[in-house]
Amino acid sequence: MSWFILALIAILFWSGSDVFSKVGSKADDKYSHWKMVMAVGIVMGAHAIFLIATGTSFNLFDIITYMPASFLYILAMVVGYVGLRYIELSVSSPICNSSGAVAMVLCLVFLNETMSALQGFAVALVIAAVIALGFLEKKQDDALRAASNEAPDKKHTRSIIAILFPILYCIIDGLGTFADAFLLDVKIAEEQANIAYELTFLMMAFAAFIYVVIIKKQKIVVWQEKPKMIAALCETAGQFAYIFAIGANAVVAAPMISSYCIVSVVWSRIFLKEKLSWQQYAVIAAAGVGIAILGIE
């Protein structure tokens, strides 16, 4: 399967993960992000165990080899889950997923990867669309609140702290993608890297369980956490496709997959029955053109 198809699969599932992670992130639950880590870790761990049980070769040392990328990815996700309690998904996601640009620059500078002029234009188009969507969302939301004289909710106001979370995610995830590209190129194969990442996430889930349930004495009602479980399933499926896409063509796949935040906004509008402005449709169309160019190239 080509890297382009795999990137599209990652976009589809990770946009779903975005939406359900937001639904499962409760502003009044200060342990919500750790519960999300538990859900993702359990699903990813189960998938890793299934792959090993069905014959995929794996050495425990692979966990150590892939640890730099695993650590950065998981740290970014925890930061992202915290941020969802403070800021809207439609604003947070475009900022977070500008990380593809960070990864692209690092890959070009340090890994000597190249892209054609047309691919460069397409990548720039996708990145510009991601950033523009964030600005449009903020402008629209501010205008609606001003018109209705609605005071921003404390947990969702765009304070310095609220904006800081997606910015941190962007930087950390970009570093993780760069580490991923390097390790997949010279240190570890895609299947082993994916299993190593999933098992590391499983260990994080155990640590989160000990902290939340045993130390903090918090109760977890499984059937009330269905959005988190759906998000975890989407996250796992997206990660499986992503790791192979990055291994095949990191410099182009990374910014392309980062555009999944645009699909996240579309899903949020569908599920929440909200409407897009013409400017938002134009930005999404521009990103679609960029993705199409990458596919043709």
Mean pLDDT, all residues of the chain = 81
Q: Where are the domains of the chain?
A: 3-296
Residue 215 has a pLDDT of: 94
Q: Which two tokens stand for residue 104?
A: 């692209």
Residue 70 has a pLDDT of: 94
Segment among 54-68, 100-114, 160-174 with least mean pLDDT = 100-114
Residue 156 has a pLDDT of: 47
pLDDT at 149 over 70: no
> Mind listing the pLDDT tens digit for each residue in 99-110?
666 776 777 777
Report residue 198's pLDDT band, with 50, 70 and 90 as the boundaries. very high
pLDDT at 174 over 60: yes
Report residue 160's pLDDT band, with 50, 70 and 90 as the boundaries. low
Question: Considering the entire predicted model, what is its pTM?
Answer: 0.76
Gap between the Cα atoms of 282 and 19, Å rounded: 22
Q: Are 21 and 228 in contact (CB under 8 A)?
A: yes
Report residue 272's pLDDT band, with 50, 70 and 90 as the boundaries. low
Residue 72's Cβ-side half-sphere holds a number of Cα atoms within 13 Å equal to 18
Angle between helix axes 190-209 and 67-83 (nearest 10 degrees) is 50
Residue 58 has a pLDDT of: 93
> Mind listing the pLDDT tens digit for each residue in 224-254?
788 899 999 998 998 888 888 877 777 777 7
pLDDT at 153 over 80: no
Residue 296 has a pLDDT of: 61
Could you tell me which residues come within 8 angstroms of residue 40 by beta carbon, excluding any fewer than 6 positions away?
77, 201, 205, 231, 232, 235, 236
Residue with structure tokens 């589809």?
Answer: 12
Report residue 155's pLDDT band, with 50, 70 and 90 as the boundaries. very low
